[in-house]
Structure 1
Amino acid sequence: MADTWEALKRDCMACRGCALADTRTNVVFGDGAEDAEIMFIGEGPGQHEDEQGVPFVGKAGQLLDDMLEIIHLDRTKVYIANVVKCRPPQNRDPLNVEQDACIGFLRRQTALIRPKIIVCLGRIAAKAIIKEDFKITSEHGQWFARGGVQMTAIYHPAALLRDVSKRPETFEDLKSIQSKVRELCGHTDI
């Protein structure tokens, strides 16, 4: 198991653990501060992410940046990763076999970062990280603790682009995240 960022990234870039390796343009490893106290986890890269090798750079990524700005965070203060590191064809949900092949990389990223807070972006990430039967419509914004880490899930930015009626709930969830960051991370500027 890789115990440094360099070794982990090298292992991830060379991964052939599932069929997504055959269709990817780039592995989308992660982005942000490698010592971040807050980690955001999505489900998997889309087309723009696959092209650039960076998570959340398309329209959903622009919305995520706006959401972070609302609570006085930005990509330099957080770490952003995905459950799977390669784009599923046509942006479909990642299959369980693909998630299983990739989850070790995410676990190792999390172990290196040691965040105080994990925010799952959407149902797929919440089911992989928080609990298998997570219901995003009824459990978004709720806090869960595991291994000393506080975890919550919010609607995926892509879902908010498709359904703007979820934005007021997400704003409340963001304010809850902001409060938790103040409580656990000591950021007085948030």
Structure 2
Amino acid sequence: MPQNLADLLLQGHSLLNDLHHLGLHWLDGVAPPPSAVPAAASARVSGSTERESLDQIRADLGDCQRCGLARQRHHLVFGCGDPAAALVLVGEGPGREEDLKGDPFVGEAGRLLDNILLAMGLQRSQVYICNVIKCRPPQNRNPQAEEIAACEPFLRRQLAAIRPQLIVALGKFAAQTLLRSQTPISQLRGHWQEYDGIPLMPTYHPAYLLRNPAGKREVWQDMKQVLQRLRQVAA
């Protein structure tokens, strides 16, 4: 049995001192994470109304052929994690390793995301991680408008099924798609937005941080706001 979120968050402060070997030197001096986060969504909603499950959405997606990306994919990458998570992280789309394995954020950017979650006192099994598009674009190019249009309804259904307390939008395409905005991510990040009544924090994508390590400090500032909001909704 995994430890509950409150226990893991209590451990988070001591973990911060051990993260230098993981390349997260930018975490020095951060305040301890909150002592509790919300219970799972299934426990938060009393007398819950009937709604579709992630399994039903995945079955509906099927062997998707709704856009041209299907022709060269190895695996469709739907999402992973707790189907009743309080926190959902939404990225852009699968890369090479994700396409080969069928899971989101398992490449180098994914390992950086895992380190960020570790610093927050969280494991990926306790959040839900997905992408705007479910198939890898060729050579990891930016997703095209018609590809986003084909996948976006399934992303929105995923979020409706999970009903998280908070959403983190990782990068330009996640933030602009969910917020229906063309505002640059550099202007969106660090400022709370709202998606369907759910607080949403836009921040830089981990892949951007691999190319621009100086951005890690800004991302950590954003994630500290997420931790603070988790503490507030748990109170």
TM-score (norm 2): 0.76
Residue from 113, 118, 121 that aligns with 1:69:
118
Return the offset for 1:28: 0.1
Return the offset for 1:74: 1.6
Structure 2: runs of 5+ lacking an equivalent: 1-50
Equivalent residue, structure 1, for 2:164: 115
Compare CA radii of gyration and give the structure with the larger one: 2
Equivalent residue, structure 1, for 2:54: 5
Matched, 1:29 2:78: yes
Taking the aligned partners of 1:178 and 1:141, their CA distance within structure 2 comes to: 13
Equivalent residue, structure 1, for 2:132: 83
**Residue deviations 1:56-94 (CA, integer Å, cap 9, x gap):** 000000000001111112212110000000000000111
Report if the CA contact (8 A) 1:88-1:94 is conserved: yes
Matched, 1:177 2:218: no
Equivalent residue, structure 2, for 1:42: 91
Matched, 1:15 2:64: yes
**Residue deviations 1:114-143 (CA, integer Å, cap 9, x gap):** 011110000111000123223211221110
Aligned length in residues? 185
Between stretches 73-82 and 57-66, larger displacement belongs to 73-82
Residue from 149, 153, 167 that aligns with 1:104:
153
The percent of aligned pairs where both chains have the same amino acid is 42
Structure 1: runs of 5+ lacking an equivalent: none
Between stretches 125-134 and 33-42, larger displacement belongs to 125-134
Taking the aligned partners of 1:44 and 1:134, their CA distance within structure 2 comes to: 20
Between stretches 177-186 and 104-113, larger displacement belongs to 177-186
Report if the CA contact (8 A) 2:178-2:195 is conserved: no
Runs of 4+ residues over 6 Å off in structure 1 = none
Equivalent residue, structure 1, for 2:176: 127
